[in-house]
Amino acid sequence: MTEQHAQPHERRILGTELLWAFGVSVLIAAILSMVVFTALTRDINPPSNVERIDPKTLHLSGEFAEQNLGTTVTRDGGITVRIITTQFMFAPRCLVVPEGRRVTLRFATPDVIHGILITGTNVNTMVVPGFVAQVYSEFTHSGDLLMPCHEYCGLGHSEMWATVRVVPESEFKPDPDGRVACAQR
Amino acid sequence: MPTDQPSAADDPLEVVDQVDEAALAEVMRVVPLGAGVLAGATVALLVIGYLAIYLLVFLPRGTVG
């Protein structure tokens, strides 16, 4: 390519590349600003609970012992669901939560890393051995939602899923101990 | 194909560049515009899709953390 042809075209291409780089920089800055803005003003953050638990003994006593799993309504009306995620099942496999109320979901695992999401909601977190994963949500529609494991955890991973049953407030009736389970309904 | 005949493809350095410099310059004059339109439209669609999901699906679902 001769000098007289190359110079103007190369300059034009360089100008186009710089214009493109500027446009992409503006886009990235705008998207990052939007994420930071919503984090600061609307408290939209990734799950960040840091709470330790011994994975070897969590099923023997304490919060994640068998009798404490599932949905519990406390005296002050708070709703907490405790779930163990383990190869290759959730315990319990079905959860009942009311529509339109804030629910706290707490997960722990005795074996490997799992991940959960609930379809149609923003609930999405890793469950790491040694830590309690905690998320909040308010379910806006009644019906059954799928809660699969979304972090490959072994050969049975694809069989690891649970049901989140969202019921109208009028049908959410805790027993005298404050427990609600799918089997009661 | 006879194997005792050398081929120009045996040594790329000896392949004669047959590109017409004037024609190349003519093509290069318009290529960045077309590439820019294609890349711009692609990125615009991607960003519109991202914004639609972020603003219309993710934010209304609310915080979980």
What single DSSP character describes residue B30?
A: H
* Number of domains chain A contains: 2
| Closest to A99 in 3D by CA, of A8, A169, A182, A185 | A169
Residues A90 and A18 in one domain: no
Which of the four pLDDT bands, split at 50, 70 and 90, describes residue A118?
Answer: very high
- The answer to whether residues A123 and A167 belong to one domain is yes
Asked if residue A98 and residue A11 are part of one domain, the reply reads no
Q: Interface pTM (ipTM) of the complex?
A: 0.75
> Is residue A85 domain-shared with residue A149, that is, in the same domain?
yes
- Token pair of B36 as six digits: 């820019």
A95 and A173 both lie in a single domain: yes
A9/A87 same-domain check: no
Q: Could you say which of B21, B47, B64 has the minimum Cβ distance to residue A135?
A: B64
* pLDDT (0 to 100) of residue A137: 92
The answer as to whether A54 is a domain residue is no
Q: How far is A12 from chain B (nearest CA, A)?
A: 8
Amino acid letter for position A15:
G
Q: Which residues contact B3 (CB under 8 A, 6 or more apart)?
A: none
* Whether pLDDT at A89 is above 70: yes
Express each pLDDT in A103-114 by its tens digit.
999 999 999 999
* Helix A3-42 / helix B21-53 crossing angle, nearest 10 deg: 0
Q: What is the CATH number of the domain that holds A158?
A: 2.60.40.420
CB A105 within 8 A of CB A96: no
- Which residues in chain A have their CB less than 8 angstroms from residue B39's CB? 20
The answer on A71 and A28 residing in a single domain is: no
Q: Mark whether A16 and A96 lie in a shared domain.
A: no
| pLDDT score for A5 | 52
pLDDT confidence bin for B31, thresholds 50/70/90: low
CA–CA dist A132, A124 (Å, integer): 14
Do A6 and A79 fall into the same domain?
Answer: no
Q: Is A123 on the interface with B (CB under 8 A)?
A: yes
- Residue at A50 is within a domain: no
Average pLDDT over residues B3-23: 68
Is A42–B64 a contact, with Cβ atoms under 8 angstroms apart? no
Location of structure tokens 């389970």: A181
| A6 & A73 share domain | no
Query: B21–A1: do the CB atoms touch at under 8 Å?
Result: yes
Cβ distance of B54 and A2 shorter than 8 Å: no
| A45 to B63: CB separation less than 8 angstroms, yes or no | yes
- A52 occurs within a structural domain: no
A51 is a domain residue: no
| Residue A23 belongs to some domain of the structure | yes
pTM, entire model: 0.76
Cβ within 8 Å, pair B63-A124: no
* A89 and A170, same domain (yes or no): yes
- Residue in chain A closest to B29 (alpha carbons) equals A9
pLDDT tens digits, one per residue of A161-183: 999 999 999 999 898 888 999 88
pLDDT in tens, A9-68: 778 778 888 989 999 999 999 999 999 999 899 888 888 888 899 999 988 888 999 889
Q: What is the mean pLDDT of residues B4-27?
A: 70
Alpha helices in chain A, H assignment, sequence order: 3-42
Identify whether residues A21 and A84 lie together within a single domain: no
The H or E element containing residue A95 is strand A94-98
Q: How far is CA A114 from CA A154, A157, A171, A178, in A?
A: 10, 9, 31, 28
In a domain, A57, yes or no: no
Domain ranges, residue A159: 66-184
CB contact under 8 A, B36 and A20: yes
Contacts of A86 (CB under 8 A, 6+ apart): A109, A110, A111, A114
B58 CA to chain A: closest CA distance, Å? 7
Residue A34 lies in a domain: yes
| Chain A environment of B21 (Cβ under 8 Å) | 1-2, 5
Cα three-residue angle A79-A131-A133, rounded to 5 degrees: 35
Cα–Cα distance for residue pair A45/A118, rounded to 1 Å:
17
As a whole number of Å, the CA-based R_g of chain A is 24
